[in-house]
Structure 1
């Protein structure tokens, strides 16, 4: 007789004002299996995760865990049942150490939602060392004592995954766990998932990156409009089939780039550097060109993007825009030079989540919208926001809606729209499709192509290799803080680009 599933979701419905987020979803999760939860933003994935983790109750239906039936769970009940969730926003405490964050959920579960007045520091250190090493992080005392706020985003992501390992959970939910990881770290995470499966742990892996899902293996579950569309071994489906199941339409897998950049140089970067991060970086960006920049996490690609946006300015070299040398000491300098910057972390660095879409769109050009009394001309502001919503296909009934009410793909388009409002010469897109579903990716890629045809130079900083190959004219490869290689994207294969990316490791 077959063993009972570890977790069952039976006939679950969830409604919000005007939205039926889940419509009678029924799923069964077996022990020691990996499941990939796929679907467009807004399909119900996040709602399903929150119901399983106890963050929200279902309106109808029930959960069955190890044979025990639950009309709803609280977060503590979910933890006590062995369910651990690595949320997309990580849910780490920035003012606590790495070790304390790794042991956090175990402490909460054992002490009924309260942190003990004193930790068993030796036991905590042993547990943290084991979990951190499992995800490829140092387990030494110095690293364990480091505050979370002092770590880069990618390292925080791995700490959050280590916390799930430390809790010895039976069921681990990973919501977009690789958004900030390089290919090297992703490869390590895939090995970690294999170890969890071998230990009998069930994993629900939520991702928009289909290549990673295929590399991991297991079963795929596709949601669309709050309903389960299909479930089965991932090897039974092609990427094209999964994309169509998620969106309800066929998406292109060919190159989006089909026009050539103009001949004249728009941006000339000469010997740019920032002490300890990157040095002697020189390249040109032509008018209407889409230029890719990639590399491993420590390559300097992220720091280069921030320097060109004036966020973390360079301390050596020269930047020439349209034949005129410019100094980018602050983000305001970049804005005045009409250089737009869409950051990698849109939630913490880009958007004002509780503010209306209208306010988020006009942020970069508020000064030009003021009347002679210094007040914002609300008619012009609304018109600008509504035009942006229309041009970028942002799904919203009203520009007065809070931007946090939008899906990830629509939020990203709001951020792009903010910089289009200044009529930019150069647009720096730093990981523009991180945490974005396949349908929204398609829209963003087509927007990029339209912008380049208008003569805007686009710098696409990304570690998504298919994204670079589909959209760019050239791809610059950075290693150890220096520009190492340049490739023409047309005709370049993903395997060739991947080999170049890992050349330093070899």
Structure 2
């Protein structure tokens, strides 16, 4: 065994949970200064292996070697001491504390009296934020940051540990194209310094941009490790799902009908100004732009989550007064939020409760009580219709894969019978196979005459699914583009960065 060649060697790793064999003889080697990508569908075993590596789970069998030494029976704190750091997919910042306290939580610099040295903490935080080119005051509360900037703070925290190996679990899932390139710049810098990166992602295009090697997982096994230049995207997808995927974006032509939603000169006090567009029956209307452009805020305002200062919203030719989400629902709108963990799912509740929460008024008996049988019947119809994989309706939603959690949230809104469905980053943090299923579902809804408004930071997704695309830059609409074979990612980026403006 050549311990001097690789920083990390995981040999024949197995992990068993009651009734489940999560990892089955997995091997993984990561070299010094190497970017090693891990890909696979949700539930394939990637995150479980990484939790074993950082000491969160003890392995059932197998050996782990790090920097030439065999390690065993260690905690996450000891893993950090050894030089292993992990950026988790699901962020859990201390929201009402500043960036600098989040960066140094549990290891705050102390002065000679044993008290926290806030000035030193500020200075150290400023240096690490400058290293990743994040232009934020270290005293800024985390709650005031976007999800993308929270992710960058997590990256800064990992760097601050001077880690030899950084595990990045879906680090770009909340980032736009521009921010993603900034992340890649940081990764290349770390690699040049000799730091190794294990990079977990469902965005296969970025794997080809930054990875040296890729390991593919399926059903708890390592089904292959190759140098990235020896593989094509189709080969990786086939290895991941065990079958070919002829078309990633299964968009089918739908009959575009009359205008359902019309927005006229809509403005918010802070986030956007004079936004106007219309969306028709059966249309998928994409909204593109960089984080901070105001995309999410526009659809939140239309749905009633934010107050407008001016402008009008017309639905089916009638002026609508929407001042709350309840007004939005009453006007036959549904809203799939960007961060399903924070603002979507009720993690410990069952699938049935998560679907039925905004719909209980449909299931009241004559005496005003919820009819549980009717709830079960109604939920089962949607579980079957959109093929949600769950052992039962009572299964806690937190135990489902990301793709199935997203389907449950889609079922929630479909049960309300919406004519207009807002989808904010509908495939964020889910695997390539589940993405294709969500795309099929979106296309099916459009074919049924639903009016779909989709915000996405993934330009291939916007181009692959949308009939028309509105592009925003710094709160302003810069382009309204008909999707065609001539439309490219470069064109959209020109509008998104403000270098091209049609309005």
Q: TM-score range by the shorter chain?
A: over 0.9
Quote how far apart the aligned CAs of 1:430 are. Answer: 0.3
Residue by residue over 1:46-83, the C-alpha shift from the partner in whole angstroms, topping out at 9 and shown as x without a partner, is: 11111111111111112212232233321111111111
CA shift at 1:338, angstroms? 1.2
**Preserved contact between residue 354 and residue 409 of structure 2 (Cα < 8 Å):** yes
Q: Say whether the 8 Å CA contact 1:41–1:436 is kept in structure 2.
A: yes
Q: Distance in 2 between matches of 1:72 and 1:25?
A: 18
Matched, 1:277 2:271: yes
For each residue in 1:198-243, what CA deviation from the matched residue of structure 2 results, as whole angstroms up to 9, or x when unmatched? 1111101111111211121311111000000111211211111111
Alignment partners' CA distance in 2, 1:235 and 1:87: 27
Q: Does 1:502 align with 2:497?
A: yes
Q: List alignment gaps of at least 5 residues for structure 1.
A: none
Aligned position for 1:267: 261
Extract unaligned runs of 5+ from structure 2.
none
Matched residues in 2 for 1:441 and 1:504: separation?
A: 31
Structure 1's 226 and 127: CA in aligned 2 closer, same or farther, altered over 3 A? Answer: same
The residue that corresponds to 2:34 in the other structure is 33
The DSSP-based 3-state class of the residue aligned with 2:442 is: helix
Matching residue of 2:12? 11
Give 3-state SS (helix, strand or coil) of 2:58's partner: coil
Q: Distance in 2 between matches of 1:471 and 1:250?
A: 20
Equivalent residues of 1:21, 1:226 under 8 A apart: yes
> Are 1:260 and 1:473, in contact at CA under 8 Å, matched by a contact in 2?
no
Deviation at 1:2, TM superposition (A): 7.6
Superposed displacement of residue 274, structure 1: 0.7
- Give CA deviations for 1:279-335 in whole Å, capped at 9, x if unaligned: 111111000100000111121101112112211132211111111211221111111
Partner of 2:84: 83
Q: Is the 8 A contact 1:4 1:66 kept in 2?
A: no
1:74 aligns with 2:75: yes
Match of 2:394 in 1: 400
Question: Contact 1:135 / 1:162 at 8 angstroms: preserved in 2?
Answer: yes
For residues 244 and 54 of structure 2, the distance between their equivalents in structure 1, rounded to whole angstroms, comes to 33
The answer for the alignment partner of 1:133 in structure 2 is 130
Separation of aligned partners in 2, 1:309 and 1:175: 32
Shift in Å, 1:121:
3.5
Q: SS of the residue aligned with 1:165?
A: helix
Residue range with higher mean Cα deviation, 397-406 or 12-21? 12-21
1:70-469 to 2 correspondences below 5 Å: 70-104=71-105, 107=107, 118-138=115-135, 143-253=137-247, 255-469=249-463
Instruction: Identify which of 469, 474, 493 aligns with 2:468.
Output: 474
Cα distance, 1:32 vs. partner?
0.7
Shift of residue 244, structure 1, vs aligned partner? 1.2
Within 2, Cα distance between the matches of 1:375 and 1:70?
Answer: 57
Instruction: Tell me if the contact between 1:98 and 1:146 (Cα under 8 Å) persists in the aligned partners.
Output: yes
Note if contact 2:472-2:495 (Cα within 8 Å) is conserved in structure 1.
no
Please say if residues 285 and 453 of structure 2, whose CA atoms lie closer than 8 Å, have aligned partners that are also in contact. yes
Q: Pairwise CA RMSD of aligned residues?
A: 1.9
Per-residue deviation, residues 9-49 of structure 1 (Å, max 9, x unmatched): 11111122332111111111111110111010010111111
- Per the TM alignment, residue 122 of structure 1 is displaced from its structure 2 partner at its CA by 4.2
- Superposed displacement of residue 499, structure 1: 3.5
Q: Which moved more, 1:298-307 or 1:339-348?
A: 298-307
Contact 1:255 1:469 in 2 (8 A): no
Q: Measure, in 1, the Cα distance between the counterparts of 2:287 and 2:261.
A: 15
Structure 1 runs (4+) greater than 6 angstroms displaced: none
**Secondary structure of 1:57 counterpart:** coil
Contact 1:129 1:138 in 2 (8 A): no
In the TM superposition, what is the alpha-carbon distance from 1:496 to its structure 2 partner? 2.8
- TM-score normalised by length of structure 2: 0.95
> Aligned partners of 2:20, 2:492: CA distance in 1, in Å?
43
Question: 8 Å contact 1:261–1:473 — kept in the other structure?
Answer: no
Q: 2 CA distance for matches of 1:206 and 1:439?
A: 15
Q: Larger deviation: 212-221 or 186-195?
A: 212-221
